[in-house]
Chain A
């Protein structure tokens, strides 16, 4: 066997590929499910925190900033490990999926809160004043005038951050979630052949390449002209 043949046999082994493809496809759907749940919860919670923060209640804002900085500082894998391996000690055990979902949602929440907050504060003061001068109250001004502009401004960074964090779903393999990477690693250890990892990489590309391209499109589409 030449080196080249050995390489092909290791990474593009047709028999192994056929055997483990169904597992990888299952992992693919599981990754989509996990990512979807993370995006929904993380972005919603991040937006909620940013809205709360704009109420300007001092002690509440300190708390928000503390939580946000905490989850921005901790590596996501550490958060996952804490929730999965640490919580049972406190008498509360989470499934691997739940632990991964909660951890990455909290991390995404922290980053999106900062992004939404930056957007809200970037809306010029004149917008508030114009709306308030016509008799609109705080909440209508916030929701009808300020927030729509803030959301529009933050779409590009939000898209990028969301992509970056959903790629963290691969970390769920550490807590035995058979998403793409988990399924691929299981395949490798059963077949003693790395081909399932090749399949996994391809699955990630199939999943994230369109998302990255969409992100690019979003970025140009939302370039804001006044």
Chain B
């Protein structure tokens, strides 16, 4: 049984090399139940890589990661089983273009959790309702707006009832007028008590919803704290420079 106490996600001393490139240089990150942690930082600072290490889409070169009490990096861990507890949402949505919204959400319910089709689709429909897209269940990704596609992608992840959700720049591929809908869905998810790690530069959302903001640069966590502290009164020079830069947009 997973422990009831302690962080849901605990990463310690994470290193990642791509060949000669040292991308993560000892990152520690703990995320507690119902916490929303925001990760910001300049391009190439390793935010996506860190997120992708958490569900082993990327294999860290060193360190330890537990999610919901499961040792993610242990060779004996059934990673496919563990991944069901870790939802992930991508910048490019990555919906399956040959399946309807419902099919997208139901696929893992059927093929991973082994639910019979009717039950899987029932559950998928409820997940789509949570992102207010029940009426689009029969649409293919190509027939949906970017914002709707991203909400379907969120439904695909939450249908598996994960313990934590990882978002990698979920709104940065969207036209400005579509960002609101996705942020609203994330907000509702947060209010339902979901633990979340969000890589994003939506400062308004961070101020309103984040418990903690983590600033990364050069493969390290440079500074972290409450949103008001990081955005309003950063202690580190690099953080100040970065916040100044993104605030001007």
Contact = CB atoms under 8 A, between A and B. Distances in A.
Contact of B98 (A129, A132, A148): A148
B94 A126 contact: yes
A39 B169 CA distance: 46
Given A134-B157, A135-B84, A226-B142, A129 B107 contact: no
Nearest to A141: B111
Contact of A136 (B55, B80, B87, B157): B80
A2 interface: no
B88 to A, nearest CB: 4
Nearest to A152: B98
A224 to B, nearest CB: 8
A140 interface: yes
A135 B97 CA distance: 19
A61 interface: no
Interface residues of B, number: 27
B160 A134 contact: yes
B57 interface: yes
Contacts of A133: 55, 57, 83, 86-88, 157
A149 interface: yes
Interface string B112-130: 1000000000000000000
B115 to A, nearest CB: 13
A170 to B, nearest CB: 37
Contacts of A134: 83-84, 107-108, 112, 156-157, 160
A137 B92 contact: no
B154 to A, nearest CB: 12
Contacts of B87: 133
A49 to B, nearest CB: 23
B96 interface: yes
A146 to B, nearest CB: 10
Interface in A116-163: 124, 126-127, 129-137, 140, 144-145, 148-149, 152
User: Considering the complex of A and B, which 9 residue pairs feature the smallest CB-CB distances, nearest first?
Assistant: A130-B94, A134-B108, A126-B94, A133-B88, A135-B84, A135-B112, A135-B83, A135-B80, A148-B98
